[in-house]
Amino acid sequence: MPPPVPMTVPTASIVVLISGQGSNMEALVQAARQGRWEQRFGARVVGVVSNRPDAPGLAWARQQGLQAAALDHRHYPTREAFDADLAHTIDAMDPHGQPAWVLLAGFMRILTPGFVQRYEGRMLNIHPSLLPAFPGLHTHRRAIESGCRFAGATVHRVTAELDHGDILEQAVVPVLPGDTPDTLAARVLTQEHVIYPRAVERLLAAAAAVAVAPPQRNV
């Protein structure tokens, strides 16, 4: 088992939202460790939140020494009530009161505009299609039924409009003869594990470069 995440205070903390297995969350945590994000960028994954208490990814996160919390969306009367509690839980995981980044990794909830605005510009998602094609659910089935020769995955910024926002990274995967939604999904998932950490690291590096850049002098 990998060693627990060291308990220092990051300058740019990351909270990941999941709903199930959390394989993209695992890829992010492992990339942060192997890529030395904390040493290079002052950034670290500090916590994981799920809308499903039985999500297997929560147990893995706890084994890594991460904060892990579950908020069962079925217990809330409205989306707004759930999102308000979700925001409070996310912010409480950050020693500074609000994380630098919120990363959706298979989080199967449509977020309210108020929640999106709270983390505007700092919230990312990975979607299993080549956006703008096939936003929403059942992307692999739709790609196959549409006769697509290629499918893939997209990392994008989250906006109030579902599966829109600036595209940061994409991976292309061929649709093979005889593919089913499950076989295509498995092949796309391997690429998700590559491009999501890569997109996040690129943003962290850019932010760190701005932070250390010398001030411009007026001549």
> Does residue 127 carry a catalytic annotation?
yes
Bridge-based pairing state of the strands 101-104 and 12-18: parallel
Out of 127, 140, 156, 193, which one is annotated catalytic? 127
- Which residue(s) pair with 153 in the sheet? 171
Buried b (16+ CB within 10 A) or exposed e, 106-115: bbebebbeeb
Q: What is the tally of helices (H) and strands (E) in the chain?
A: 7, 7
Rounded CA-CA distance 81/185 in Å is: 33
CA distance readout (Å), 61 to 16, 22, 77, 85: 10, 9, 28, 20
Active centre residues (catalytic): 127
